[in-house]
Amino acid sequence: MDKPVKIRVENLTFSYHQTPVFENVNLAFEAHAITAITGPSGRGKSTFLTVLNRLWESQPFAEMQGKVWILLDGQWVDIYGKTLSKPDLRRKVGMVFQTPNPLPMSIWKNMAFPLKLTGISDKSLIEEKISAALRQAFLWDEVKDRLHDSAFGLSGGQQQRLCIARALVSQPEILLLDEPTSSLDAGAASVIEDLLVRLKERCTLIVVSHYLDQVSRIADTALKLQARGFLQT
Amino acid sequence: MNIRILGGCLRVFSWGAVLVLTGSVLVLLGYLLVKGVPSLGRDLIFGQVNVLDALLLKKRVFDGLFPAIAGTLSVVLLSVGLAIPVGVCAGIYMSEFATVLQQRVFGLMFDILAGIPSIVIGLFGFSGAIFIHRYISNDFRPCLAVSVAALAFLVLPYITRTTQASMQGLSIQTRQAALALGATRVQNIFYVLLPQSFSGILSGIILAIGRCAEDTAVIMLTGVVATAGIPGSLLGSYEALPFYIYYISSQYTDAEELMSGYGAAIILLGVCAVLFILAFLIKRRLAGPAGPAPGRFHG
Amino acid sequence: MTRVFQKTARIVFFLSAAASAMAAALVFGFLLVFGFPLIGGGEFFSLLTRPWSPGQGLYGFLPMITGTAAISFLSIVFALPLSLGTVCFMGGLGPARISRLVDGFVRFMTGIPTVIYGFLGIFLLVPVVRTLFTSAGSGMCILSASLMLSLLVSPTMIIFFKDGFDSVDVRYIQAADALGADSVQRLIYVILPEAWPGIVTGIIMGLGRAMGDTLIALMIAGNAVHVPGSILDSARTLTSHIALVSASDYDSLAFKSIFACGLTLYVLNAFAVIAVRRLGGKRGPV
């Protein structure tokens, strides 16, 4: 079963305050699949996600060695190399956090934010991209009549889907999700699980989760994070 | 693209602001050092008098900064000494006992007190002296005691606020540990909470000392004079470094006197810098050597 | 420890807090009582607008009000761009290492005695102003004092601005970062719109610091008692006016007028404190 690979992690060592979080990790992630990362809390699952979009670099006292390659447009790109800027990388590798983090603006402005960052000003294009992303995130019907209301008026599950939709606006090839359902009730969580499975055709997903039942429902591959390394299960 | 240009401008602007701000302060301080360092020396402080004779108060120093330094030292120690017990007790009350209403009302009063311009505090001390002169003793006039009281008013809110803040910053676990072992509230304060917040309070006190040492406006209305010698009594006049700098800047008669003004400014700046660094180091030790423990990195 | 000790300790704590709080009221009371003959009978507000001319029995402090207003306003005009630029630098536009140095330096600046600024103003800044602007006379003028004051108020403003920046929810910053915002975009689109209460607080606190400072204006603004006509004019502030009190006759109206100046400063400060508390900014020793 030789499936196409999207991400390659080579000899990754990550330490925090000189204490290694993981050492010499080598991994490959399948394209258009959901890979789940499980394991006890405090072992650096979230940290691992931030290695893939370089978000950890804003953390003081953290250090990393090793290489991460991502297949973009048929070419292997070293994401810590000079060819790809950090903002560009983060548009290709979207991230959704444990608790929904809409910005303090309207739903519409939240959705338009990534486009604003790239300087797109064509109104009809913006509208088109936003509605497409909201539809992909199963949110369009619920918010189409109140796009200019504050994003904080949405329920937790809706906020999380808004954050997913917001990440989808930049058409990322990879989506990182850090325990995306842990702050939600079972109903809202199952909507998001369905959504993630559907998103496989568009992107490669890596989901941190500590719900084993959730992992078995949605994941194609599961990795267990153990002391300083990963175990394929 | 607009944002690109705006961003570029903002970057240039922020670099410019930093360079102008730090540059002008460095030029000022550099000028002070270049002009003033040659004046530093034994003579600047003790004049022609033998150091030991001056320190043992055997001979009076007329042409040196020794009396001003001694005056500043006494006024600072006395006023901070007066403000510490009251301020720390008030801070403890605010943190541990005050009701929400008290926190609000007292808090507002402390904020107002902290914001009163120091010249107005000086005026208050001055009017207090007039009050005593008029109704209690005809011999009373602005003196060391008045300055000490007024400066204590000036730094009281600092000490109260830092005590309150450091005690409120203690974790719930720390607060409950002794209580769970049967300590009373007051025991908890003296055995656990105060020792735990000690460095926070100490850094607040050091900053208060700095504030007292540099203040000129309060003391110029409450008893400081240009020549008084070593302060001999609480009811007498005294000299102080910051006032000497102010006085020399307008009253100097020759280059040598002006040089002693530069020397005094360097000494005062040095004292304030040392106090600042001390407070900074204590605060940093308080924050721990390197932030949160490794295990707390989220995820 | 006995029960009596518990009770006594608690009473001592309360009395200290109450006494400290009363101190603010006590200062106000003294100013009011001593300035009373001038302030009572609705005279206070007409004093604010009258000129100062002891010869004609006029003790209005309009010149000092305008002097204080001009000097403190102008110092904010100089300090605001410097402070905003510096805080943006520390907020991500500058390299992290240099930012930390700048942060330390700014905090150090809060400890520089104001009398030293005044002293250096006389011997370094005033001669420069005198040479550059021939109409500035001796060089002791509003411009000199404001320039020097702007160095005094900048650290205050920067520290409050930075508090405002730091109080922006980390999740917003993380969201912007994860969506690919660069440091300028993060600043303009996320931090600045959220940090405005801190910016307003900083401006108020800076203004308060500028109005309350005595030594710089006293030493390099010239202290002339007239309503200034330009920024190159000499001016006297409310604080300098108090510092220059020399009347030996404690019952004279000239002497009592300094208490009216003191009251004005006190009330302005109280308004500033209340405004800052309304903004929800925390205010404490800087």
ipTM of this complex: 0.89
B3 at A interface, C-beta within 8 A: yes
**pLDDT on residue C102:** 95
pLDDT class of A228 with cuts at 50, 70, 90: low
Tell me the pLDDT tens digit for each residue of B182-238: 777 888 898 889 988 988 899 889 989 999 999 999 999 998 888 887 888 888 889
Tell me the pLDDT tens digit for each residue of C165-174: 988 888 899 8
Nearest residue, CB atoms, C181 vs list A87, A95, A167: A87
For chain C, list the contacting chains (3+ Cβ pairs, <8 Å).
A, B
Among candidate residues C154, C151, C150, the one with its CA nearest the CA of residue C83: C154
HSE-CB at C47 with a 13 A cutoff on CA atoms is 25
B294 interaction partners in chain A (CB closer than 8 Å):
16-17, 19, 21
* Domains (range + CATH), chain C: 62-280 (1.10.3720.10)
B1 interaction partners in chain A (CB closer than 8 Å):
119
Give the separation between CA C150 and CA B17, rounded to whole angstroms: 13
Q: Do A119 and B4 touch (CB under 8 A)?
A: yes
Beta strand A93-96 with A19-30 is: unpaired
CATH number of the domain located at residue range(s) B43-287 in this protein: 1.10.3720.10
Q: Do B294 and A44 touch (CB under 8 A)?
A: no
The chain-wide mean pLDDT, for chain C, equals 87
Distance from CA of A51 to the nearest CA of C (A): 12
Higher pLDDT, B156 or B289: B156
- Whether the per-residue pLDDT at A1 is higher than 60: the answer is no
Alpha helices per DSSP H over B215-254: 217-221, 241-251
Tell me the pLDDT tens digit for each residue of C185-210: 888 889 988 898 899 999 999 999 99
Give the separation between CA B249 and CA C145, rounded to whole angstroms: 15
Tell me the pLDDT tens digit for each residue of C30-46: 988 887 766 655 566 66
Tell me the pLDDT tens digit for each residue of A27-47: 899 999 999 998 887 778 888
Tell me if residue A97 falls in helix, strand or coil: coil
C248: nearest CA partner in chain B: B130
Tell me if residue C225 falls in helix, strand or coil: coil
Q: What is the DSSP letter of A147?
A: T
- Whether the per-residue pLDDT at C136 is higher than 90: the answer is no
Q: How wide is the angle at C-alpha A29 spanned by C-alphas A27 and A34, nearest 5°?
A: 135
Q: Return left, alpha or beta for B17; rule: phi > 0 is left, psi -120 to 50 is alpha, else beta.
A: alpha
- Whether the per-residue pLDDT at B266 is higher than 90: the answer is yes
- Whether the per-residue pLDDT at C57 is higher than 70: the answer is no
pLDDT class of B60 with cuts at 50, 70, 90: confident
Distance from CA of A113 to the nearest CA of C (A): 8
Nearest residue, CB atoms, B297 vs list A47, A119, A178: A47
B186 interaction partners in chain C (CB closer than 8 Å):
1, 5-6, 9-10
Q: What would the two tokens of residue B196 be?
A: 């735990």
Distance from CA of A1 to the nearest CA of B (A): 32
C171 interaction partners in chain A (CB closer than 8 Å):
97, 99, 101
- Whether the per-residue pLDDT at A22 is higher than 50: the answer is yes
pLDDT class of C250 with cuts at 50, 70, 90: low
**pLDDT on residue A232:** 64
Residue A113 burial class via C-beta count within 10 angstroms: exposed 0-12, middle 13-18, buried 19 and up:
buried
Mean pLDDT along residues B241-263: 90
- Whether the per-residue pLDDT at B137 is higher than 60: the answer is yes
Report the residue of B2, B9, B13, B124 to disrupt the C interface, i.e. the one with the largest count of C CBs within 10 Å.
B124
Mean pLDDT along residues A81-100: 88
* Single-letter residue type at B135: Y
* Domains (range + CATH), chain A: 5-232 (3.40.50.300)
Distance from CA of C279 to the nearest CA of A (A): 18
A41 interaction partners in chain B (CB closer than 8 Å):
299
C172: nearest CA partner in chain A: A103
**pLDDT on residue B292:** 34
Tell me if residue C253 falls in helix, strand or coil: helix
The pLDDT > 70 percentage for chain C reads: 88
**pLDDT on residue B294:** 33
Give the separation between CA C256 and CA C259, rounded to whole angstroms: 5
**pLDDT on residue C231:** 87
